[in-house]
Amino acid sequence: MGKRGQLTILVIIALIIVAAVIVIMLYPRISVLINPKVSPSSYLKSCIEPVVKSNIEILSKQGGYFAPQGNLDYKNQSIKYICYTAENYRTCLVQQPRIKGHFEDELNNALAPKAEACAENLKKEYEKRGYSVSLSEIHSNTSIVPGKINIEFSMPMKIKKESTQTFSKFDIEVDSKIYDLLMISTSIIDFESTYGDSETTLYMQYYPDLKIEKIKLSEGSRIYIVSDVVTKESFTFATRSMVWPPGYGFQQ
C-alpha cells in the first residue's frame, strides 16, 4: 500500500472518531431524530415512576403523612400516631381509620403537579419531533391496589403529523407491595384499639414475605415497622395503647 493509501485510511479513521464523538455528545437530540416514534405510556411511566417511589418512601417512614401532626419523634424521624391514648391502662383511640385511603390521598396530592409536568413534557417531546399536539386539561388519579400503584392520566390529547391520533387517558402501573403493608397495618391498629397490643409473630407466620418489627419505648409508645422481605418496602407508624406505667402510675 502506498503512502496515499495509508493517508486515506488515517483520514477515514479520524472521520469515524470525530463522528463517534459527535454522536456521543449529541445523543439525546439524535435519538429524537432517529427514533421518531415515542410511546406516551412508556414516556409517562419513566417520568412519574421515580417520583412515585420517592414519595412512597417518605410517606412510608412517617405513617402515611408528609407532615404528620400528632406524631412521635424517634431518631430524627417524625412518625404519625395512628392510634393513641394519653392515659395509662386504657386501649387507644384510632386517630386515622383510613390508613390506605389517606396514604392514597397524600400520594395523589403530591403526584398531581408532577403528573401535569410529565404530560407537558410529553407534549414538548412530540412537538420536537414535528408533531402538532393539542392537549386539554390534565387530571391524574392515584390508586393503591394489591401489587401495584395505578396512576390514571386523564389528558385528552390529539397528535397530528401524517395521520392523527387521539388519546383520552393513560394508565400507568408501578409495582409496589405497599397495599399489603397498609392492610396489615390496619389490622394491627384494630388489635391495638381493641386489645391494647398485637401479636406480630402470628402475622409473620401467616404471611411468609412479611416482617414486623415492634419497638417499645419507655413511656409506652410503640413503633411498628411493617416490611416486605422480598421487595424491601416498609411502612412505619406509631401507637400508644394499654400502657403499664412504672410503679403504680400515680405520677405522670
| Binding residues for another protein (CB under 8 A) | 69-71, 81, 83-87, 91-98, 100-102, 145-146, 186, 189-190, 193-194, 199-201, 204-205, 208, 211, 213-218, 220, 229-230, 244-248, 250-251
* Residue of 43, 183, 223 whose CA lies nearest to 101: 183
The residues that bridge with 239 in the sheet, in sequence order, are 83, 222
Query: Cβ 39 to another protein, closest distance in Å?
Result: 24
Query: Cβ 252 to another protein, closest distance in Å?
Result: 9
Query: Cβ 147 to another protein, closest distance in Å?
Result: 9
Nearer to another protein, 119 or 192 (CB): 192
Helix (H) or strand (E) holding 189, with range, is: helix 178-195
Nearer to another protein, 115 or 243 (CB): 243
Q: How far apart are CA 176 and CA 146, in angstroms?
A: 8
Nearer to another protein, 2 or 208 (CB): 208
Nearer to another protein, 88 or 129 (CB): 88
Query: Cβ 86 to another protein, closest distance in Å?
Result: 5
Query: Cβ 80 to another protein, closest distance in Å?
Result: 10
* Residue of 136, 128, 127 whose CA lies nearest to 166: 136
* Residue of 206, 204, 199, 210 whose CA lies nearest to 234: 210
* Residue of 60, 66, 14, 58 whose CA lies nearest to 226: 60
Nearer to another protein, 32 or 91 (CB): 91
**CA–CA distance from 43 to each of 4, 120, 126 (Å)?**
50, 11, 11
Classified as helix, coil or strand, 145 is strand
